[in-house]
Amino acid sequence: MTNVPDFPLDLPIFEIYSGADGARVEIHPWFFVEGRQYLGITRVLPPGTGKSPAHIHHGITQYCLLLDGARARYRRGRRTGILKPGEVLTIPADTPHVDPFNDSDQPIVLRTLYTPGPVWLLAFGRTLGQAMRDRNTNAHQELRLLHLLMMLGTPGSVTYAATIPVSLQRRLLLPLAGRLAKQRGYRPAAGLRDHIFRTS
């Protein structure tokens, strides 16, 4: 958790979404620190929320900062850990991980920064925010499994499940999940379909 950029705390906000029990997503548009481009997402995670399946971000480095709250639990590689206020968790590109989540009995505020920050991550943040707003998430305030798999299979995706070969996901599993998700009415965030999700 050393040798990380000096990130500004006051970032511009592109969109804000609110969900159940005080859950919140703020999307920070592209900005630069020390010559590198970033995209950010800040979340208010109610108690017992924010846990997602283990995954990787292909070619993307991720930084996590706990802005408020006592702690957040995470997994990076095979090690679990606790993120505390004032620390920065660095997740190198292509590293299997479980994002920091709230296992405490109080809300936490977690900021995640991605570099480089592709359009797909903006689409993912908006899709999660709209699902939260519409009360269409799972108990962890995350996308439901089929909705998540549909997003992982959209063009431009940089995120894949950690335990299944990426080539198998791309060729077979994600296209199948995408078809099932469409049948159940799942879609990317409104306004992004024409760019990242073309139906056949």
CA-CA distance, 46 to 22, in Å (whole number)? 6
Kindly report whether the global pTM for this prediction surpasses the value 0.75: yes
pLDDT at position 152 is 95
Tokens 């995706």 correspond to 157
pLDDT at position 190 is 72
H or E element that contains 179: helix 174-183
Sign of CA dihedral 110, 38, 19, 58: negative
Q: Which of 186, 184, 131 is nearest to 153 (CA)?
A: 186
Q: What is the pLDDT along the chain (200 residues), one digit of tens a residue?
A: 446 889 998 999 999 999 999 999 999 999 999 999 999 999 999 999 999 999 999 999 999 999 999 999 999 999 999 999 989 999 999 999 999 999 999 999 999 999 999 999 999 999 999 999 999 999 999 999 999 999 999 999 999 999 999 999 999 999 999 999 999 999 998 765 444 444 33
The architecture that CATH gives domain 15-189 is Sandwich (2.60)
H or E element that contains 57: strand 55-57
Task: List the chain domain ranges.
Answer: 15-189
The answer to whether residues 38 and 32 touch, using CB atoms and an 8 Å cutoff, is: yes
CA-CA distance, 150 to 71, in Å (whole number)? 31
